[in-house]
Amino acid sequence: MSKLVPPHGGKGLTICLLEGKDREAELKKAAKLVKIEISAQAKGDLIMMGIGGFSPLTGFMTKDDWKSVCEKLTLADGTFWPVPVMLSCSADDAHKIKYGDEIALERKGEIYATMQVTEKFPLTEAEKKWECEKVYKGEGADSQGDFMAVALKDHPGVQMVMARKEFCLAGPVKVLSEGEYPEKYKGIYIRPAELRAMMEKKGWSKVAALQLRNPMHRSHEFLAKIAVEVCDGVVIHSLIGNLKPGDIPAEVRVKCIDTLVEKYFVKDHVIQAGYPLDMRYAGPREALLHATFRQNYGVNNMLIGRDHAGVGDFYGLFEAQTIFDKIPYATEEAKCGVEPGKALLCQPMKIDWTFYCFKCDGMASLRTCPHGKDDRVVLSGTKLRKMLSEGGEIPDHFGRNEVLDILREYYSGLTEKVEIKMQGAAAGTAMK
């Protein structure tokens, strides 16, 4: 009997990936079906449904699910889910498809899945804007005033929603490919069932996950080690899907983590892994998504620090923490009144703003350090990327020298630079 937290939704891992002869037969059938070109985001969502990372989802959402997720943070059946998982297509393609039809979902010539269409529906520009207001609008300065005008210019998640085509398709999928991830990230790309087996072998039951989309600096290291102190182990879980321009590629970030784990962690208490999603940059809602699918990986504590999954100044510094206080999640101590399996079990591990303090002579947080801003090295992935991209001097104690050497080598090889915008949180101007 596993001591790990059960998968979300109460149905175990819902795995939609076909392998062996079943996959070969489905690929042969798919070659004759109507083909729909999917986005990079939908590709990642499909793979997560394939490997059970999005349990209990077995297909793209219906309009009732979409509306309920936006309004109530639940699927239409009441199961907790924080962000829409949608498949869009053009009006021309939608008109070719009848209810009950099977279609093939492809990207750049590769078939990723087949799908039985149970519903097709238009989403108007007004409805997409409504989704953005519900899911992506936060409490930060950029979300005030004319949110959509600012977001259309500066929020990549909102831009992705508004770029969806006219119709959406819903229905169960049979996933046929995991893309480039198994080969490109061999040993890092780990399916939920595989990670669960690794943790069970170690005897872990209380596990924390550290979400990473930036190179691992001293604050990240500090957060991971806090988790190791109070849990059986920590999973350093990197996004290996697509990011926005200017972010550092996954293979570079993985190399940095390898170096840190090798030199600065007790290996028995840490696992490095990667997952195949694209960032949505949905701030608080994405923090909830990170906790939801980490539960499927066997994680019951999600590390949530400052400005988790944020972009620009759209979100309050700790809005991704406080949103957890507004949703029902179940524990043995507290009954939330939600049908078993439908509430979120993975709980937040909330960590205050962390930094290096010269007077404390070490890593600290606003809860532990009594000193002022001038004594602190404010750490953020955005700030690090900006300094490196502009050839700036990196302050002492910002990152480990071995990691900075890897990042300097990466930036020295770039032929095209991307401007890195600094939000208040990353710059440290918002610190008390």
C-alpha to C-alpha distance for 221 and 215, rounded to whole angstroms: 11
Catalytic residues: 213-214
**Complete DSSP assignment for 366-377:** TTT--S-GGGEE
C-alpha to C-alpha distance for 343 and 328, rounded to whole angstroms: 6
The torsion angles phi and psi of 322, rounded to 5 degrees, stand at -70, -25
Q: Both tokens of residue 144?
A: 């005030």
Strand 34-37 with 233-239, pairing = unpaired
Query: Which amino acid belongs to residue 158?
Result: V
**Complete DSSP assignment for 109-138:** TEEEEEEE--EEEE--HHHHHHHHHHHT--
Nearest in space to 179 (alpha carbons), one of 79, 345, 63, 47: 47
C-alpha to C-alpha distance for 6 and 58, rounded to whole angstroms: 17
Is residue 34 a contact partner of residue 117, using CB atoms and an 8 Å limit? no
**C-alpha separations of 386 from 154, 260, 287, 380, 407 in Å:** 17, 21, 24, 10, 12
